[in-house]
Amino acid sequence: MAKRSGITISRQIMDSQRLHPEATGDLTGLLSELIVAAKIISAEVNMAGLADILGQSGSTNIQGEVVQKLDEFANATIKRRMEQCGYICIMASEEDDGVIPVLEGYEGKYALAFDPLDGSSNIDVNVSIGTIFSIHRKRSAGASGDESDLLQKGADQVAAGYIIYGSSTMLVYTTGEGVHGFTLDPSVGEFFLSHPDIRIPERARYYSVNEAYTNYWFEPTRRYIDYLKEIDPDSGRPYSLRYIGSLVADFHRNLISGGIFLYPRDSKSTDKPDGKLRLLYEAAPMAMIVREAGGLAITDDGRDILEIEPAGLHQRVPLIIGSRADVETARRFLTG
Ligand code: P6P
């Protein structure tokens, strides 16, 4: 655990900004506002069992998913802080159908996409959940932004990160200069650097997929998963399965310990022909983080997630992400 005398996230972000004399401080300001939102959401998530904020809100979102009360709280918290921070021109949220404008006169030069509380179906059973964010530069003319500022490929992200609300609250982010992890010390309300320059192991014998869909996977996917179950002559064991059902938790474990996460297409989910996970605020930010940590993220037909031009705010993509050697092996099976 980081010592309180350690580097705070604010210091880390400022030090990073000092490396760029041309920087205006806007990205620093934007990240700082997201950090405040993360602290507010963390406090609420950690009290969820005691406050009247567990359970369902009674509404459904654009995805047709039941919205949890904490989903709504997290979404409102981020939107309220960001709409008048002055650093962004437009927003998109997993919980909202269309783009979210900022207050007039508060337009900035970045575009923000976020999943306010991913994995929220796990809230009531105290499984780790998370917030995911992706930041692009404004491309459109004029002060206010539009959808085109959000529909940019992942390779052009300025920054990406997530907050995982688990046994401790951690914030993991990258601005393209390595991946850094900070642990929240709730007694002082500060994130301290606990995981400097995270590197994902080149290969690890863990895979993460929902095997309930095995009978519906396409043949190359099934062949790859069957390969992972063969006895490895060196270790004398197959790969081990670890699946939490919360993307941020499954991804974070692989980022720290190594392994591969898969959410491939299947022939059963006819309403989701491209898998379940969303490109803009799940796959693309995680793909930037994993690339910066030395890993790789592809679709189940071998395309690089970071090179996909988004066609819509809530576009879904199949996601294969994690340790580079494992993902490259998967790509050989999936495109062979
Ligand atoms: P399944 C949570 O609902 C989520 O969006 C991701 O966090 C998670 O990886 C995935 O869905 C789990 O989906 O179909 O395995 O329950």
pLDDT, tens digit, for every residue of 193-241? 999 999 999 999 999 999 999 999 999 999 999 999 999 999 899 999 9
Distance 17 CA to ligand 1 centre (A): 35
- Is the confidence at residue 1, as pLDDT, over 60? no
Asked if residues 77 and 131 have their Cβ atoms less than 8 Å apart, the reply is no
Identify the H or E element spanning 190: strand 190-195
pLDDT, one tens digit per residue, over 321-336 is 999 999 999 999 999 8
Give residues (CB < 6 A) around ligand 1. 118-119, 121, 210, 245-247, 250, 276
pLDDT, one tens digit per residue, over 110-130 is 999 999 999 988 888 889 999
pLDDT, one tens digit per residue, over 261-279 is 999 999 988 888 899 999 9
Q: Taking the CA of residue 71 as centre, how many other CA atoms within 13 Å lie in the half-sphere pointing to its CB?
A: 24
Which of 115, 242, 276 maximizes ligand 1 atoms within 8 Å of its Cβ, making it the mutation to test the pocket?
A: 276
pLDDT, one tens digit per residue, over 134-167 is 999 999 999 899 999 999 999 999 999 999 999 9
pLDDT at site 51:
62
Distance 294 CA to ligand 1 centre (A): 24
Q: Give the torsion sign (CA, 168, 173, 179, 184).
A: negative
pLDDT at site 24:
86
pLDDT at site 22:
86
CATH class (in words) of the domain with range 9-195 = alpha beta
Sequence ranges of the domains in the chain:
9-195, 206-335
Residue nearest to atom 12 of ligand 1 (CA): 245
Q: Give the torsion sign (CA, 97, 103, 104, 108).
A: negative
pLDDT, one tens digit per residue, over 23-67 is 888 999 999 999 999 999 999 988 866 666 666 676 777 777 766
Q: State the closest ligand 1 atom to the C-alpha of 246, by its place in the atom list counted from 1.
A: 7
* pLDDT band at 3; cut points 50, 70, 90: low
Strand, coil or helix: 76: helix
Percent pLDDT > 90 in the chain is 79
* pLDDT band at 17; cut points 50, 70, 90: confident
Using alpha carbons, select from 247, 253, 223, 255 the residue that is nearest to residue 319. Answer: 247
Strand order, beta sheet including 129-137: 100-101, 88-93, 110-118, 129-137, 159-165, 169-174, 179-185, 190-195
Q: Give the torsion sign (CA, 335, 174, 160, 200).
A: positive
pLDDT at site 53:
62
Residue nearest to atom 4 of ligand 1 (CA): 119
Using alpha carbons, select from 137, 134, 86 the residue that is nearest to residue 110. Answer: 137
**Other beta carbons less than 10 A from residue 103's beta carbon:** 11
Q: What is the mean pLDDT of residues 246-274?
A: 95
Percent pLDDT > 70 in the chain is 95
Distance 285 CA to ligand 1 centre (A): 16
Residues 6+ away with beta carbon under 8 Å from 179: 172, 173, 197, 198, 199, 255, 289, 292, 293
Tokens representing residue 208 in the block:
């993460």
Distance 304 CA to ligand 1 centre (A): 21
Mean pLDDT score of the chain: 93
Asked if residues 181 and 170 have their Cβ atoms less than 8 Å apart, the reply is yes
State how far Cα 194 lies from the chain centre. 19
Residues 6+ away with beta carbon under 8 Å from 87: 26, 27, 29, 30, 33, 108, 109, 110
∠ CA 283-285-287, nearest 5°, is 65
Instruction: Specify the fold of 206-335.
Output: D-Maltodextrin-Binding Protein; domain 2 (3.40.190)
* pLDDT band at 170; cut points 50, 70, 90: very high
pLDDT at site 336:
86
Q: What is the mean pLDDT of residues 183-190?
A: 93
Residue nearest to atom 1 of ligand 1 (CA): 245
User: Concatenated DSSP letters for 140-182?
Assistant: SSSSS--GGGT---GGG-SEEEEEEESSSEEEEEESSS-EEEE
pLDDT at site 192:
96
Using alpha carbons, select from 213, 69, 199 the residue that is nearest to residue 129. Answer: 69
